[in-house]
Chain A
Amino acid sequence: MNAPRAAAPAGSPVDDLAPAGLRARVTECLRECASDRAEPVVAALDAAGLCFPGLPDRVVLAESLAAALDFDPAAEVLARHDRPGAGAGLPVAALQVAASARLVATTGGWLGTRHSFGQRLIDHQVVRFRLAELMAYAEGARHLVHAATADTAAGARGDGVVEAARLQARKLLRRTARVCLHLHGASGYVAGHPAQRLLLAGHRPADGISDEQLLDAVARHLRGADD
């Protein structure tokens, strides 16, 4: 049911490879569904005839889900569209990066409503710099996930970049959750807060592979390149 592949360059390398307008249609579907649980969202995507056969399509889905849902239900929806093959972990990596960026944005918004020492928390330079650093690293990780997706879709295999992207995404998620929880103070520590939920999610790899295993995979690629 998806539209033909986009011919003209759009917002990112992944959007260029996914069907034209896919991101907008998924976003619209999620908005109309207006649910924060996985099951209704899965049903809504099915009802809209949206399918995600290509790796770039699933990366677009992951990023759209991150903007609309909490991490756990988004991961659940994404798992329904999981497909084995090269780059299989990249949609989860895209979800981790997008969820991190969303948490930074919501944290920034919240800090704009709180005051200390006569000014908004967001106006303290040390706070701004901590958030700015997270924003910079989120953007870098997104570029890496997109590049790995585009390379994999183009048939590139075995240079370690896919594993690198997966590793960066989960490190970013943990770092972002840790810093944002801290910036939220006590409220970030309270059960159910998005920051602490993300902190736990970051330490619970959805794909059952540890950081060290991913690092070893990268190291194997490096050794292979030497031979």
Chain B
Amino acid sequence: MTEPPTATAPHHGRPGPGFATPAAFRRSVRALVDRHPEVFAPAVWDVPGRVPPGREAVVLLGRAGLLAPAAPAPAPVRRVPPEPDPAPSWQFAAALHEELGLLPAGAVVLTQVEVAAKLLAAFPATAHAARQALAGRSLAALAVTEPGGGLDFDAMTTSVRRGDEGVVVEGEKWLSSNAPFADELLVLARDTAFADSALGRHSLVRVPVDAPGVEVHPLRTLGHRGVTGRIRLTGVRLAPEALLGSPGTGLLTLMRHWVHERVMVALRMTAMAEGLLALLRSAGGPRSGYADRAAAELFVDIAQERASCRRALELLGAGGCPPRTAAGCKLRSADVLRRTAEAALRREAELASTRPRFAGLDPADPGLAERALRDATGLALAGGSDEALLMVIARELR
């Protein structure tokens, strides 16, 4: 399944082949997706009883060198002033996630690049693992949420303790994106060695899914079917090197990471809304009579989120996106995607009632509008619910 790299030029020392421009990169992503309908076509996802081809999607894109350009270039070893980057990595990340827009594979790719590889790249000891993730050779999933609680970390029950020759992890996680096809899990756990620490009581642990005591099952969910998992960790014994970064600082690492993740999820939601609006307006032909003002209302909100995501990406690239900006992007884009998906569903019903041969907004993907609404609901929870985001923004209030 190895694809020949479609690169044109090396690009600022990033791993993998380079692309001269984000537009060239975007074309390569589109070409690969078109060549592999057996992996990317929506019809092969969301099939009851079948694990969707998430792993295959990551492997194809990674091996074709189409994940690495979206990752930031490694910091220069020597203290030399960096040359201005004509096409910074965030432009490639935006191109990748926008191009995958309404495809179900987009969520899996976003998790692999912006969550798994991004977290692994944050530590020198796992830089190689990050490169492997971007090359599509290994998949990882972040496991934070538990059946008993989300972002209330004091209520977390999964623990890591020191054993005779390493560490032992125990507990249960769920709603972990990509867990059903991951090779390893990045688990946030209460660290018993830091139970009394005022600074940090949680550690991140790398857990191979084939370690004894690890069970992963797909979780039945409203959207992103087959993509999220439930994880049971029963006395999982690991080497001391399994601890990711400094013990006790796992939560701090994730706090920084969530700023990035929230912007990227917002970018995906905005791209989905934009794709839906285009279909919504074109469905039924040019004179189908979709209310111009209704489309314009949605366009205005989507334009705002596009501008906001771009600004947040620029700030991320410069290393200084405030948490409230990331939270605001995600809060608003979730709302606009929900409203666009609801409008798409209403439009489908309207056209179906008046046109006997109407086959959906996208005849090649009849379930698109409903799936968008279901997935939008899940994306609105990823990286924190609306209320969690409002709490982040409200920290600015004294």
Contacts and interface: CB of A to CB of B under 8 A. Distances in A.
B281 A226 contact: yes
B394 interface: yes
Contacts of A161: 303, 307
Given A147-B310, A165-B304, 7 more contacts: A122-B397, A128-B391, A136-B324, A136-B327, A139-B308, A161-B303, A223-B292
Interface stretch (A35-43, A53-61, A74-82, A212-220): A212-220
Of A122, A136, A144, chain B has the most CB atoms within 10 Å of the CB of A136
A202 interface: no
Nearest to B325: A139
Looking at chain B's contact residues, the main secondary structure is helix
A102 interface: no
Nearest to A172: B304
Contacts of A108: 397-398
A128 B325 contact: no
Interface in B124-147: none
B300 A136 contact: no
Contact of B304 (A131, A140, A212, A219): A140
Of A135, A163, A165, A212, chain B has the most CB atoms within 10 Å of the CB of A135
Of B292, B300, B391, chain A has the most CB atoms within 10 Å of the CB of B300
B394 A219 contact: no
Interface string A138-172: 01110110111000000000001101110110000
A222 interface: yes
Nearest to A145: B307
B381 to A, nearest CB: 17
A133 interface: yes
B306 to A, nearest CB: 8
A216 B299 CA distance: 12
Interface residues on A, range: 35 or more
Nearest to B327: A136
Contacts of B390: 128-129, 132-133, 136
B120 interface: no
22 contacts: A129-B390, A132-B393, A135-B324, A135-B396, A140-B304, A140-B329, A143-B307, A143-B308, A146-B311, A147-B307, A148-B307, A160-B296, A165-B303, A167-B300, A215-B292, A215-B297, A216-B296, A218-B296, A219-B293, A219-B295, A219-B296, A222-B295
B332 interface: yes
Interface in B224-280: none
B49 interface: no
A143 B295 contact: no
Given A135-B396, A147-B311, A216 B293 contact: yes
B331 interface: yes
Contacts of B311: 13, 143, 146-147
